[in-house]
Amino acid sequence: MKATIPRPKSQPAPGPTPVAWLELKGITYRNLRNQSLRLPLGRLVMVCGPSGAGKSTLFRDILDPAVSCAIEHRKANLTGKDFVRWAKFSAEAKGPTAKSAAPFVQLTGVSKFKAVIEVDQNPIGKTPRSTPATYLGIFDLIRQFFATLPESKLRGYTASRFSFNTAGGRCATCSGAGRIKLEMAFMPDSYLPCDDCNGSRYSPELADITWKNKTIGQVLRLSFDEAALFFDFHSQLSQVCRLMIDCGLGYLTLGQSSPSLSGGEAQRLKLVTELAKGLPTFRERSHDLTVRNLYLLEEPTIGLHLSDCEKLIRVLHNLVEQGHSVIVIEHHLDLLAEADYVIELGPGGGPRGGEIIYQGPLAGLLAVKRSPTAPYLRAKLKSASPVVRRR
């Protein structure tokens, strides 16, 4: 299949542009032996290599906690000994010096970051009461907003009154679930919409409290496409809704039950949740403060169609354009072709891996004879349409 991902303009303007670097020297941990890592900041970095080569060990088990530790202690540079002492890191090595052995010698270049935001492969919780709005954390903001309406203040309602998990505001018949469970003797349980609340989850006494002619139950039935316009007056709510749209999830409703989401939808919802953590706060926006985060994603394309991958790569490029640094551990060749900088570990897995065999621009990887990825990437770039070719 020919790749169809267009290349957004996320590259810096032509001409010499100074690049800051993050460096991790003397990495010795598990199958990594005295390796040194050099990462350009404000770029899209793709990490590839065979399974068991040490990708997750290097980035999730060492780089992530090391950078987080340096940020917490406000250190632009961090020694391995300080990291072991402050982060209580266990080297998992044998011998009497195991607990004190440092996994690296020196970390430099951390002063640019506010936080490390990791998106891993762990599934989201899929309880019937979980919804995209609650998972994203925006439902708390919606409840607080409804509690500030004049009618709510006259009745003495607080934000808890607008929760479908507490008595008072929720429907007494379905207990805020919006549906009634029918237990079958020899068949799977089935569900029917609640007749009393018509699936809105709320009691009739909240029907008189509206904003833009919608109750809170009707707001939960809005899609994220509709919610972005409905909450255009609220910067944080509208930004989170816009992230959902950018990731191709604008068709989901705020109150949709999480068990009804597909694997790809759940993965992208988790991605949006983590990306939302990096949004600037009201203070940062009002004072025009620049925020720089380090994003670490592990195989975000699992369960995604190629068209969804296109939306994902646009989101990643937008993050880079905003000044963030993005590291993606990925095997998807179409995403690797979008990299500003590539790191490959190998050449094999387990004892045969643990070596950084290449780190640099994408074109340089194609010339590395020891690279397990280069032959497949060359074939992909040859068969790709011209819009995908980077140079």
Residue with tokens 């992208």: 268
Query: pLDDT digits over 284-323, tens only?
Result: 777 777 889 999 999 888 878 888 888 889 999 999 998 9
List the chain residues with pLDDT less than 70. 1-17, 90-100, 384-391
Query: pLDDT digits over 178-208, tens only?
Result: 888 887 777 777 888 888 898 889 999 898 9
* Cα–Cα distance, 331 to 350 (Å, whole number): 18
Residue with tokens 């500003």: 340
Question: Which pLDDT does position 17 carry in this prediction?
Answer: 57
Give the angle subtended at the CA of 310 by the CAs of 320 and 123, to the nearest 5°: 85
Question: Which pLDDT does position 92 carry in this prediction?
Answer: 54
60 DSSP assignment: I
**Phi, psi at 350, each rounded to 5°:** 65, -130
105 DSSP assignment: S
- In the chain the domains, ranked by start, together with CATH numbers, are 21-114+292-383 (3.40.50.300), 121-287 (1.20.1580.10)
Query: Which of 342, 379, 383 shows the shortest CA–CA distance to 364?
Result: 342
* Cα–Cα distance, 175 to 167 (Å, whole number): 8
Q: In DSSP terms, which residues pair with 344 in a beta bridge?
A: 48, 358
- Beta strands 355-360 and 341-346 are antiparallel
SS3 235: helix
Question: Which pLDDT does position 207 carry in this prediction?
Answer: 87
Helices (H) and strands (E) in the chain, counts: 15, 12
Q: In DSSP terms, which residues pair with 295 in a beta bridge?
A: 117, 326
Question: Which pLDDT does position 90 carry in this prediction?
Answer: 64
pTM check: above 0.75: yes
* Cα–Cα distance, 4 to 188 (Å, whole number): 42
